[in-house]
Structure 1
């Protein structure tokens, strides 16, 4: 049970996808002009991530190693088609707002990364816990960034006015540069908080490179990068 909780909880802070391990940045930057868009994209990713982890962990022993990535993509693509059809049927206005980024969930590095790094090596229950934690963390991150941009850029949250009448919106925040500004401020704030917590515990502040890359083995690891 303790490991189950650990695998779920890591995606909520320690390995928060867009802000700690920097996964899924394309939709994070592209669709978060409003909180509604961020929540909608996040929920779509939660469904695809959870179902793909469930399916991949269930059949991991019969997937040939040489074609595992192709199999992961086929499974993910099938789930994304389901999400597209459901969104077109029930939340078509939101589907139109998200546009091309819904089908692009197929190549979201978060989906493929969890399939390769976790679901293909662990059982069904742990894989579902990992997917739910990562997916919820991703959804909260997109919704938070979208809410910040929407408040500063429009004075609203989920379309509801929350700022005073004399408030002058910063239109830049709901444009493309606003996504980079918002992401940068959030990353800076989280890094500052991590350093504060480390100093409070009497520990050496974590290295920025380690915090971003520690959980990804694609490049051979931190030590290999430092050697280069």
Structure 2
């Protein structure tokens, strides 16, 4: 298997192979906790921490683990980092930890994390494995935050409400209310609204990809046409 370059790893994590929009993994927490930006950001940061730590650890031990115990070893590593993330949230963001509830320990079962450990970290050196974990985690975090912002804005007419639960007293006044007397839209705060919001994000990505591909093909056609014209001119001159 050819080793990916850093640029390819970054592009895959943030766009081409985004775990939420392309692989469609981790949907349970993605749809369950993204009712607000602060919830999405809290879970996203915890997932990012676990992905980076587990990818690095798996890469470091990849040459010392027997094939028969490979997956159990990966799960134990992931569970250890999830426990660290859980203890950190209990210590510093306890109220947010209570809101997120079971979805913090359930990071252990996130297929995106185990998938990256098995498909990439176990086959690549630590530096690339850490970068892959960071980019995949960041890509997942960005989708969480975008979906959370969409649902919070449409659902209750606010943005960045209760950010002090994650960032402390300095974020207590960060709440934005773009609309006066906004009538709450309960649909967007419920699971059906989460499904619709994620579907819109996936559709938007597909539209952007289609237009990029069309432009690429058009550029190729122009290049071929220009080359053909140069050949014809050269032939006529000779």
Do they superpose with TM above 0.5? yes
RMSD of equivalent CA atoms: 1.4
User: Does residue 185 of structure 2 align to residue 170 of structure 1?
Assistant: yes
CA distance in 2, matches of 1:162, 1:11: 32
* Consecutive unaligned residues in structure 1, runs of 5 or more: 204-228
Please report how far the alpha carbon of residue 80 of structure 1 lies from its aligned counterpart in structure 2 after TM superposition. 0.8
User: Normalising by structure 2, what TM-score?
Assistant: 0.81
Aligned to 1:89: 91
**Stretch deviating more after TM superposition (157-166 or 173-182):** 157-166
User: Does residue 27 of structure 2 align to residue 25 of structure 1?
Assistant: yes
User: Normalising by structure 1, what TM-score?
Assistant: 0.85
Larger helix share, 1 or 2: 2
Structure exhibiting the larger radius of gyration computed from Cα positions: 2
CA distance in 2, matches of 1:199, 1:8: 23
Q: Secondary structure at the match of 2:114?
A: helix
Aligned to 1:14: 16
Please report how far the alpha carbon of residue 197 of structure 1 lies from its aligned counterpart in structure 2 after TM superposition. 2.1
Q: Secondary structure at the match of 1:185?
A: helix
Aligned to 1:56: 58
Q: Secondary structure at the match of 2:123?
A: coil
| Correspondence 1:196-211 to 2 at 5 A | 196-202=211-217
Q: Deviations over 1:52-105 (max 9, x none)?
A: 011110011111111111000011111111111110010011111111010000
| Correspondence 1:87-166 to 2 at 5 A | 87-159=89-161, 160-166=175-181
Structure 1 residues 13, 125: closer, same or farther in 2, change over 3 A?
A: same
